[in-house]
Structure 1
Amino acid sequence: MDKIITLKDISYQYHETDDRPALSNISLSIEEGEWIAIIGHNGSGKSTLAKTINGLVAPSQGEVTVGGLILSEENIWDIREMVGMVFQNPDNQFVGSTVQDDVAFGLENQGIPRDEMIERVKSAITRVNMQDFMEKEPARLSGGQKQRVAIAGVVALRPQIIILDEATSMLDPQGRQEVLATVKEIKEKANLTVISITHDIDEAANANRVLVMKNGELVKEGTPEEIFSYGEQLIEMGLDLPFAEKLKSDLRDRGIEVPADYLTEEGMVDWLWTLLSKK
């Protein structure tokens, strides 16, 4: 696969008086079509790292390459067309009086011809399964519905990369599942690259690769299975563990031998059934 994003020795400090930089000498690459989750405690630098990708934050040193373009003042808007961002609070993103008006807003700014704009708006809203809410006010929707409309607004712009910046953190479990299922379906159909900045371990479990940030540094990198197997080390960094890993830890404390490999909840259920059937 081709690398769609490359960060080389990125550093950034918000204020000269800060005790430590927000980002410190970070290098990484992301391949086209990957789903990357970036996790870490508050203040670890994960959101700052995401904002370097589309130029919302300009690194004090290092180089950012997106879609083969080295980020600069000359091409920042070309890069921003490649990268769509969905933020934590969808209410802060709404500008239209109806769902379809809101999704059309970014296209109007880009000067997309009206016939094409109508087709894109309808297609994007249908993709997030909100076609029955075209004329509704965004403010009257549920949290999950609002976030799906925000995603539609990004999808209509047809970026190559979508960044979810804590996009599910304000949602209830059902809303979170709806949004993640929506993103997953869109990603697979359009081969999008997804970067998820999250505290939610279940969201991170959807990723191909998980990056762990701590105090502005990239400290661990691997598949969800590899990262979650660190167990207590993640807890010491202020991070949570998937339910199945917590259950394994509790069973281990009670003297029950458990698999060393990472298990999803479904895998844990299968293992428990096998264990119980032997008794």
Structure 2
Amino acid sequence: MQPIIELKNIDFNYQPEDASPALKDVSFSIQQGEWIAIIGHNGSGKSTLAKTINGLLLPASGTIAVGGKELNETNVWDIRKMVGMVFQNPDNQFVGSTVEDDVAFGLENQGIPREEMLVRVKDALEKVRMASFATREPARLSGGQKQRVAIAGVVALRPDIIILDEATSMLDPEGRDEVIATIKKIKEESNLTVISITHDIDEAANANRILVMKQGKLVSEGTPEKIFSAGTELIQMGLDLPFPEKLKIALKQRGVDVPNEYLTEERMVDWLWTSVLNK
């Protein structure tokens, strides 16, 4: 099956004379319907990588193909229609005086007929559970609600791929859970490809596959189970660990024999109950 995204040997410099490129020889592919999380410390190149995928930045060398089309200056606008981006601060994305106006903005720019636009706006707001807020002012919404409206604006454009560029980093835990649940629901309904650029390990745990960036290079990739099982190696790279992995390390330091494999919170509770608390 042809990947929906394929990067081959991507290099990128913000300045030609930079001694340390922002991206160095990065190659990977993504299949349609995958959820990919890209993690790494600040300055690792993960956000730069996201911006090359939809043509906001053009690489110095290497090739990027989206939907089977090799990205270039001629087709960059066609590629961008396939890739929607949700950024860190939803306030920076709002342009409409009401929620429904804001969701309609991108559709107007694409020249979508009014009758179809009304249907898409209603459908997108229902998907993110914000239909009852259609006539509200965006400024009066909570952080999680604002981000869901930003997602609706992208969903209304019906892209094949959604990139979340630190989209939950400014939210409280409740708002973060709202946004992740919304993305999960839309992904399942529409077979969307999701790329999550994140510091939030719990968000990354939702992915099918995790890519780890360090100093502009792709240094590791695999399932959440594989990546999180690296334990202290991730901490040494300046990354966090999911709570179950932190708990395993703490228990091991106290002489408890813990499983080697990665445990979700649910599996950790089951293991604690059957193997530790019932002894």
| TM-score category, normalised to shorter length | over 0.9
Letter in 1 for 2:44: S
- Please tell me whether the aligned partners of residues 83 and 162 of structure 2 are also in contact (alpha carbons under 8 angstroms): yes
Q: Residues of 1 paired with 2:218 and 2:188: CA distance?
A: 27
Report the equivalent of 1:122. Answer: 122
Q: Residues of 1 paired with 2:53 and 2:109: CA distance?
A: 21
Report the equivalent of 2:240. Answer: 240
- The TM-score, its normalising length taken from structure 1, stands at 0.99
1:169 CA displacement? 0.1
1:58 aligns with 2:58: yes
Aligned length: 279
Root-mean-square deviation over aligned CA pairs: 0.8
Residue 210 of structure 2 aligns to a residue whose secondary structure is strand
Identical-pair percentage = 73
Residue 3 of structure 1 aligns to a residue whose secondary structure is coil
Alignment of 1:24-173 (within 5 A): 24-173=24-173
1:67 CA displacement? 0.3
Alignment of 1:142-221 (within 5 A): 142-221=142-221
Q: Residues of 1 paired with 2:169 and 2:18: CA distance?
A: 27
Residue 4 of structure 2 aligns to a residue whose secondary structure is strand
1:255 aligns with 2:261: no
Q: Residues of 1 paired with 2:216 and 2:105: CA distance?
A: 35
Letter in 2 for 1:270: D
- The TM-score, its normalising length taken from structure 2, stands at 0.99
Q: Residues of 1 paired with 2:85 and 2:72: CA distance?
A: 19
Letter in 1 for 2:244: A
Residue 57 of structure 2 aligns to a residue whose secondary structure is coil
Q: Residues of 2 paired with 1:276 and 1:252: CA distance?
A: 13
Q: Residues of 2 paired with 1:167 and 1:194: CA distance?
A: 12
1:15 CA displacement? 1.3
Gap runs ≥5 in structure 1: none
1:276 CA displacement? 3.6
Gap runs ≥5 in structure 2: none
Q: Residues of 2 paired with 1:112 and 1:18: CA distance?
A: 43
Deviation per residue, 1:121-147 (Å, 9 max, x gap): 000000000011000000110000000
Q: Residues of 1 paired with 2:73 and 2:3: CA distance?
A: 22
Residue 77 of structure 2 aligns to a residue whose secondary structure is helix
- Please tell me whether the aligned partners of residues 2 and 68 of structure 2 are also in contact (alpha carbons under 8 angstroms): no
Q: Residues of 1 paired with 2:132 and 2:108: CA distance?
A: 22
Letter in 2 for 1:55: G
1:73 CA displacement? 1.1
